Structure 1
Amino acid sequence: MAISKENAQKLKYLFEDGHEVDWIGAFVKIVNKDTKTVPFILTEEQKQFVEGLEKFNIVLKSRQLGLSVCTVALAIRQCIVYPNSCCLLVSHDQKSCNAIFDKLKQQFNSLPSWLKPKEIANNRQEIKMANGSKITCCCAGNKDVGRGDTLHLVHLSEFAFWKMPEKQLNSITQALAPDGKLIIESTANGLNYFHDLYFQAKNNENSYKSFFFNWINGSTLFKKDYDNSVEIYKSKNNKLLDVAELSDEEKELVKLGASLEQLMWRRLKVASSGLDAFHQEYPSTDIEAYISSGANVFSNKKIDEVERAIKTNKIKYIPKENISDLPRLLQLHYGRSFFIWKIPKAGERYFIGVDSSEGVGQDYTVVEVFNKDGEQVAEFYNNKLKPYEMADIIDSVGHYYSKGIITVETASGGHSIIERLRYNLKYMNMTKYKSYDEFNKMQWRIGFDTNVKTKNLIINDFIEFFEKGLIKINSTRLLNEMKVFSIDDNGKMGASGSNHDDSVMSTALALAGLKNGFYYPF
């Protein structure tokens, strides 16, 4: 049957890449929570997900936001718009796999008859189509996952719960077509390979694009749950929750968009499962999903208070155009690697900590600057600059901040930085420590020798300064590192998983200089 010119133009539009949201809304139907079959109109979060996809994608999310259902619809579209496509939907267990296949069949069968390709197989959790396309649902751990196929769309569900995820991911990525898409998606499940991949993606340290979806913004999917929780809360407390009763954390959630109805639902969830479990399954931030209160070195409550103060007081680094005397070398990095909250005052003492790296794109070299009152006034971080380049930058920072005392950790690229600062650039105001040579003769060395004993000392001093309110932190980067700085069962302190602790260590070194009080004018 012929179609009108107008409808032909609409179909052309819908079948073009970039219009996936409209295609799904026009042709796919789903069963909603009221068991009614309705057009699949995506929520704002689902739209953001679909429209933002690149080749490699990793998604950390709250529970039950409907992203798996979106991916099923995308797989169906791929197989219709591009015949001879192969899509793979991998679940972490058989129960989840069965659920995904049921959703696939429901969505596929909801397509208009003129659009739906003829099926040549619909069994063993796989749909094969007469146009050469197929969609396969399977469990993680299946040895034949992706074997022999060129994959055009792959969805790996609840990846944080997989066994041997790295090995399986390597196998799947090798089968991905040049123009294919890979979606890794999961709720949090502790500090594991998924956690590492996600934060590496967030820090632009791998090829994945990171997405995070919190529980607050998915409110449209849980309206009935919230309504029921309001009734339960009212029956238990003889009244509804009032703004005046909110805790500091709940006030922050309101700023993120949470309603009082959602907070009543949250209170009931926390009462039944505990706050840590809620943070993991229904995080409001990606860091919160991984906070383990028992292992963290710094007080999460105190960190949250400081974060709120930064937001409330609108603390931001000084715009570049408002700084008139910034050295040329530092100007080149300002706003990207270098940030200033307070310009130096003549005659004031400054304390500069340096945690160094080799500048090969992995760990960062971080420079933290504090004034005599314990306020963080500047920060520099970069993981691409070599030690000799960083020495020149540290020299500029030191001179700019009134020839402040510099404490450089001797590990990694620290020795090179110290040598260049002292003997090439003649920077004299540097922390020294005592050591003994092979003849048991005492000598002074420049820098800070970090070992198990000294590291614990300076970190514990940092903790005391922070929790007693003796320092003022202005950097959210530093606060985020403090959230994941933990202590393991062997008493070893450091960043959890693949997170960084360079800012934490450089701050501890700056504070060690502040506590020691030594200053060498030159």
Structure 2
Amino acid sequence: MGISKENAMKLKWLWQDENKIEWIESFIKIVNKEGKKVPFILTQEQKTFVKGLEAENIVLKSRQLGLSVVSIALAIRQCIVYPNSCCLLVSHDQKSCNAVFDKLKQQFNSLPKWLKPDTIANNRQEIKMVNGSKITCVCAGNKELSRGDTLQFVHLSEFAFWKNPEKHLNSITQAIGTGATLIIESTANGVNLFHDLYFKSKNKENSFKPYFFNWIDGGSLFKEKYKEAVKKYKSINGKNLSENDLDEEEKELLKLGASMEQLTWRRMTISKTSLEQFHQEYPSTDTEAFIISGNSVFDNKKVSQALTNIKNNKIKYIDKKNIIDLPSLLKQEYGKSFFMWKLPKMGEKYYIGADLSEGVGQDFSVIEVLNSDGEQVAEFYNNKIKPYRMAEIIDAIGRYYNKALICVEKASGGHSTIARLRYEFKYMNMVKYKSYDEFNRMVWNVGFDTNSKTKSLIINDFIELFEKRLMVINSERLLQEMQVFVSDNGKMGAVSGSHDDTVMATALAIVAMKQKYHYKC
């Protein structure tokens, strides 16, 4: 029997890529928490995720938000809408892999008979269809993750817990076809490749689109748990949790949209584990998920609060169209490597710290600008600009900010940058320090010489100003680096795989701010 013209038009509409959500909700069923098979109606978080998908995506999330389940549905749709598709679902361990394959079979078998392709194979954690498509579920660490296939849809689950993630990701990306979709998804697990990829995507340093889903907004899947927690709390304490009972962090969560039922559940969950564990598995902000305790140099609670303030107060750098007098050199970099939160004021003094690299794509060259009140007003970072050109940029920023007092770290690309600033650009307003030559004659040196002793001194000055609230930080990037800046066996620096260039540049700007003298340029 044929189909009506109306139904044919509806099917044509459903087959369009912009209608993925409607396709899933029309054809796929899932088993709900009561064990009943029901139409797969997506949550708001799942809809946001599906609507925003691009070629490469990275997802930091709270636990149990159903993103793996919707990824399975997307793989099934890919195989039906586009015959001869190859989809790969990778889990971090065998137990999870088995669970994913069970959900895949359940969703696939729920398809209407007229839509579901016949299968050639439906075992060994792989479904092969007569239309040439297949979906394979494997465990991370499997030597044959891609098995020579050209992949059209890939979902990598709990990537932060993988062993040898660089090796496997490289293998998978080489197998991905044109127009394919790659999803890296995980809860946090400390500072590792997943952490680096996520924050690089936020800073637009790689091609991934970042997503973050917190536990507060994802509460629709936990309503019954919240009700149970409220009952238990009341039975123990004789009353419900009230706003008067909340601590400072809970009050901030209330401002972020958490309900009293959610905060009750949070308290009960923390009582069984720890606050640090809750932050990792149920973060309210993306940076909170990666908080490192113990050997952190900066107070991570205060760093996290500063990041929350940036989000709540919607602090953003000045739009380029609102700046009329920016030098052409800085215009080229604005919004990419150079950012300003406050324009220079006539008569005000400014202080610049510069920590420079060789510009070979590894460490970053960073410039931080503070005003006389200790507020961060501008930031520049780039890891591909050579030292000779960094001298031009420092000169331009320094002169733009009222011939600011500049402190340049002498190591790496600093020596050549200092020389060019002094002798080619005639920039004289630079930090100097005294030393003695081999004849015990006092000499003045331009720049700052960082060693284990001086590094400890300038970082401790930074810690004091930040923790006493004597400075204002407007850069998320700087605060993120402060979170992973640790002391290990007496040495200070970023944890392995992370950067500390903005931290050091800010410490150098503070050195300049503490100087008594400004020199004429």
TM-score, normalised via structure 2 length: 0.92
Identical-residue share of aligned pairs (%): 68
| Alpha-carbon contact 1:341-1:474 (below 8 Å) kept | no
Distance in 1 separating the partners of 2:145 and 2:478: 41
Instruction: Give the CA deviation at 1:2.
Output: 0.7
What CA distance in whole angstroms lies between the structure 2 residues aligned with 1:12 and 1:324?
50
Report deviation, 1:63.
0.7
Cα offset, 1:441, TM superposition: 5.3
Aligned to 2:283: 283
Q: How many residues align?
A: 520
Between the aligned partners of 2:301 and 2:392, the Cα distance in structure 1 is 38
Q: Answer yes or no: is the 8 Å Cα contact 2:351–2:406 preserved in 1.
A: yes
1:426 alignment partner in structure 2: 426
Alignment of 1:471-482 (within 5 A): 471-482=471-482
Q: Is the 8 A contact 2:288 2:304 kept in 1?
A: no
Q: Which runs of 5+ in 1 are unaligned?
A: none
Partner secondary structure for residue 156 of structure 2: strand
Write the letter of the residue equivalent to 1:517.
K
Shift of 1:318: 5.5
Q: Deviations over 1:149-189 (max 9, x none)?
A: 22221222112222222222222222222232222211111
Match of 1:35 in 2: 35
- Structure 1 residues 389 and 137, CA gap change in structure 2 (3 angstroms): same
In structure 1, what is the equivalent of residue 507 of structure 2?
508
- The match for 1:86 is 86
Equivalent residue number for residue 518 of structure 2: 519
RMSD over aligned Cα, in angstroms? 2.4
Equivalent residue letter for 1:78: Q
Q: 2: CA distance between counterparts of 1:315 and 1:86?
A: 43
Whether the 8 Å CA contact 2:94–2:139 is kept in 1: the answer is yes
**1:192 and 1:319, CA in 2 relative to 1: closer, same or farther beyond 3 A?**
closer
CA offsets per residue over residues 47-105 of structure 1, 9 Å max, x none? 12222222222222111111111111111111111222221212122211111111011
Return closer, same or farther for 1:291/1:240 CA change in 2, 3 Å cut-off: same
Q: For structure 1, which segment, 231-240 or 304-313, has the greater mean C-alpha deviation from structure 2 after superposition?
A: 304-313
Instruction: Specify the SS of the correspondent of 2:514.
Output: helix
User: Aligned residue for 2:166?
Assistant: 166
One-letter code of the match for 1:212?
Answer: F
Deviation at 1:442, TM superposition (A): 4.7
Change (3 A) 1:360 1:231: same
Report the CA distance shift for 1:323/1:140 in structure 2 as closer, same or farther (over 3 A): closer
Task: Identify if the C-alpha distance between structure 1 residues 126 and 326 changes in structure 2 by more than 3 Å, giving closer, same or farther.
Answer: closer
Structure 2 residue identity aligned to 1:502: D
Structure 1 pair 314–20 and aligned structure 2 pair: CA distance change class (3 A): closer
Report if aligned partners of 1:200, 1:498 keep a CA contact under 8 Å in 2: no
AA aligned to 1:504 is V
Mapping of 1:89-488 within 5 angstroms?
89-307=89-307, 327=327, 329-330=329-330, 333-334=333-334, 337-341=338-342, 343-346=344-347, 348-436=348-436, 442-488=442-488
Q: 1:454 to 1:47 in 2, by over 3 A?
A: same
- 1:8-43 CA deviation, whole Å, 9 max, x = no partner? 001011112221111100000000111111111111
Instruction: Indicate if the aligned counterparts of 1:199 and 1:498 stay in contact, CA closer than 8 A.
Output: no
Q: Aligned partners of 2:69, 2:34: CA distance in 1, in Å?
A: 16
Contact 2:344 2:402 in 1 (8 A): no
CA distance in 1, matches of 2:307, 2:180: 40
SS, match of residue 417 in structure 2: helix
**Following the alignment from structure 2 to structure 1, what is the Cα–Cα distance between the partners of residues 314 and 130?**
59
Q: Equivalent residue of 1:257, what SS?
A: coil
Give the equivalent residue in structure 2 for 1:4: 4
CA contact (8 A) 2:227 2:261 kept: yes
Q: Distance in 2 between matches of 1:66 and 1:380?
A: 39
Shift of 1:314: 6.5
Residue type at the aligned position of 1:67? L
Contact 1:362–1:383, Cα closer than 8 Å, also in 2? yes
SS in 2 for 1:499: coil
Q: Could you tell me whether the CA contact under 8 Å between 1:316 and 1:341 is conserved in 2?
A: no
Gaps of 5+ in 2: none
CA contact (8 A) 1:344 1:400 kept: no
Equivalent position SS for 2:345? coil
Give the C-alpha shift of residue 221 in structure 1: 0.8
Deviations 1:412-446 (A, max 9, x none): 32222211210011111111233455666553221
Normalised to the residue count of structure 1, the TM-score between the two structures is 0.92
